[in-house]
Structure 1
Amino acid sequence: MEIQTIAQFEVGNRIEGFFLIKSSQCKMASNNNKFLDMILGDQTGEVNAKLWDCTEEDEKKYKQNTLVKVRGLITEWQGQLQLKIEKIRLSVAEDGIDAANFVPAAPYTPEYMYNQLLNYVSKIQNHDIKAIVNCILKENKQSLMTFPAAMKNHHAIKSGLLYHVMTMLMTAEKLSQIYTFVNTDLLYGGILLHDIAKLYEMDANELGIVSAYTTEGQLLGHIVQAIKMVDRTAKKVGASEEVAVLLQHMILSHHYEPEFGSPKKPMFPEAELLHYIDLIDSRMYDMQKALENTAAGNFSDKIWSLENRKVYKFNLNNEKEEKSLA
């Protein structure tokens, strides 16, 4: 049987392949038999999988972050693809499989993206903003190299947080050429720090897979955690209170609405831009990801982060080619 990736799955197919278990929970079926409810992943995506009538040995073996070889049938449940596992085993050394090759990752190396962030830091003229950002980036470099930007939503990939921040900075640079009154020092600083405390909100391994939210992350959330980080760092580097408060307000308001964690809305232009740049970047990422596995002329699956909207994949390039040949 031909080895397949998740992106190639279609309802009714019998598949075989290697996958990384991203999560695994033992549950009870209606017939009182145990089953494993798993999320399997590779570089092309992830799929829900069920191992019915599992044993205690299965429960112990097939844990999160374990590489497995699977054979099964692709079905559909509530509009989503699902894999009914027929055979499963742990990957062995003879398979020659590297777990890192089964994890979706940013399209650039972490070293390149981190250096791009430092390049934008070098453009910051304000001494206090630069000192705060430099200190926080250097203290958290190791985690930044692999951390995702989320557990399940946008940029939930290895080095996704670096990628998210880098592309936001690129967008900010272009927008500041139009809105020339904007203080780019503050805008760059806010972007670089707005999600930095996700490094402490989530518990992620070296593959960029989040296993859970930390206790502090659940009790406080990354916005409050980041404000605390900026306050501590500002005092450490001797930055002015005004600079610290401005950066803290940008972090505090970047989710915009109280129900999303922001008790204050943006109260100066740079904070307003931060919110919308963050929104643009996250939505463009989710749309691009949905369209990657969508055939031209079709709609994608529903996207939870976009209020369950579907997005359409058009085929204008091919249409132009056909007209030129006519």
Structure 2
Amino acid sequence: MKFIEAFREGDKVNDVYLCKYKQMATAKNGKAYENVILQDKTGTIDAKIWDPNSSGIGEFDAMDYVFVTGDVTSFQGTLQMSIKRVRKADESEYVAADYLPVSEKNIDEMYGALMQYMKLVENPYLQKLIQMYFVDNEAFIEAFKKHSAAKTVHHSFVGGLLEHTLGVVRLCVFYVEQYPYLNRDLLLTAALFHDVGKLKEISNFPENDYTDDGQLLGHIVMGSELVGFGCRHIKNFPKRLISELQHCILAHHGELEFGSPKKPALAEAMALNYADNTDAKLETMKEILKGAGEGHEWIGFNRLFESNLRRSTQL
């Protein structure tokens, strides 16, 4: 099959993809069309069915594997597909593993590196908390390794939560070296746990969508609750340390309008916010550049960054 990462403007496509999203919409001229997102293990592409009533457009739903015939075009610097024909695929026409986006990095090696960093944590109570979840709980470990870090924006692939967490931890290790007054044990533990709520906020692949609790509570609150639960099951865990650790998690998005119930009040919470934002934004930029394909210096206006984006010169 031809994977989405290899698509180029002008390509003709005849292959099977996972329909991640499907919704009817109306154009400015009043004509109905359908928005579709197609996915394989290398990424996603926005697609349009401009004539949903055409005889070549079969019945299918989101999360179906579909055989698609279409043209790859470019809109505002981003590739998309115009679907001409589509039908639900037979099971014999695809291998499910080809449609799950997976980290380019080795998952077991990343987890090993993450645990090596956690050996830097000397506080016995924080070390017990880390051991409780990341060493002794096999079900938690397996879920953490496979989960994504987001629905679409960044690290939305198998191993994405692990890759993002490792990236944040590495930045926090640098911050501690640069600013020794930071409480290393608190910051590294908070970095390890900052997004664990996403295990409950986002469903497993191939859905990778928000759960009911994800919509109602969000990963920040659920992550803080998980940490609080673990701390309360460790005898004599200092109450002040629990509050500081939970505060770092509750404040890691930095601003109330970005979903944090609290703004950072501790230096460690501030450092965690910067590390999380840096890793998320630079990964998002990487994915935008990758999705735009080759041959475009100016990619176009991006609403997330509120800027007209351009590739840097390659010498």
**How far apart, CA to CA, are the structure 2 residues paired with 1:240 and 1:93?**
55
Mapping of residues 122-271 of structure 1, within 5 Å = 122-137=119-134, 138=137, 140-205=140-205, 207=206, 209-211=207-209, 213-238=210-235, 239-271=237-269
Query: What is the CA-CA distance between 1:11 and the residue it aligns to?
Result: 4.2
Alignment map for 1:50-129 (pairs within 5 Å): 50-51=48-49, 52-53=52-53, 58-59=58-59, 62-76=60-74, 80-92=78-90, 94-95=92-93, 97-129=94-126
Structure 2 CA distance for aligned equivalents of residues 156 and 133 of structure 1 = 25
**Alpha carbons of structure 1 residues 280 and 91: separation in structure 2 relative to 1, 3 Å:** same
> Counterpart in 2 of 1:322?
none
| Contact 1:20–1:67 (8 Å) recurs in 2 | yes
Contact 2:24 2:34 in 1 (8 A): yes
User: 2: CA distance between counterparts of 1:308 and 1:58?
Assistant: 39
SS state at 2:154 partner = coil
Q: C-alpha separation between the residues in 2 aligned to 1:128 and 1:227? A: 16
CA contact (8 A) 2:19 2:61 kept: yes
Q: 1:79 to 1:170 in 2, by over 3 A?
A: closer
Please say which of residues 249-258 and 126-135 is displaced more in the overlay.
Answer: 126-135
> What is the CA distance between 1:232 and its match in structure 2?
1.3
Taking structure 1 as reference, are residues 31 and 273 closer, same or farther at Cα in structure 2, changes over 3 Å only?
closer
Q: CA deviation at 1:165?
A: 0.4
| Alpha-carbon displacement from aligned partner over 1:4-38 (angstroms, at most 9, x marks no partner) | 43334444443223322212235577999875432
Q: Distance in 1 between matches of 2:188 and 2:107?
A: 19
Which residue of structure 1 lines up, in the alignment, with residue 272 of structure 2? 274
What is the rounded CA distance, in whole Å, between the counterparts of 1:215 and 1:88 in structure 2? Answer: 31
Higher relative helix content: 1
How far did residue 271 of structure 1 move? 1.4
**Structure 1 counterpart of 2:186, one-letter code:** L
CA RMSD of aligned residues (A): 2.8
Paired residues in the alignment total 307
Instruction: Give the structure, 1 or 2, with the largest relative contact order (CA under 8 Å, sep 6 or more).
Output: 2
* Equivalent AA in structure 2 for residue 22 of structure 1: K
Aligned counterparts of 1:117 and 1:71: Cα–Cα separation in 2: 43
Q: Which amino acid aligns with 2:270?
A: E
Q: Retained in 2: the 8 A contact 1:75–1:81?
A: yes
Moved more, 235-244 or 32-41: 32-41
The gaps in structure 1 that reach 5 residues or longer are 317-326
Percent of aligned pairs sharing the same letter:
29
SS of 1:210's equivalent?
coil
Measured at CA, do residues 42 and 304 of structure 1 come closer, stay the same or move farther in structure 2, by a change above 3 Å? farther
Length-normalised TM-score, structure 2 = 0.85
Residue 210 of structure 1 deviates from its aligned partner by: 1.3
> Please, what TM-score do these two structures have when normalized by structure 1?
0.83
Q: Which SS does the other structure have where 1:300 is aligned?
A: strand
User: In structure 2, what is the Cα distance between the partners aligned to 1:144 and 1:82?
Assistant: 32
CA spacing shift, 1:308–1:157, aligned 2, 3 Å: farther
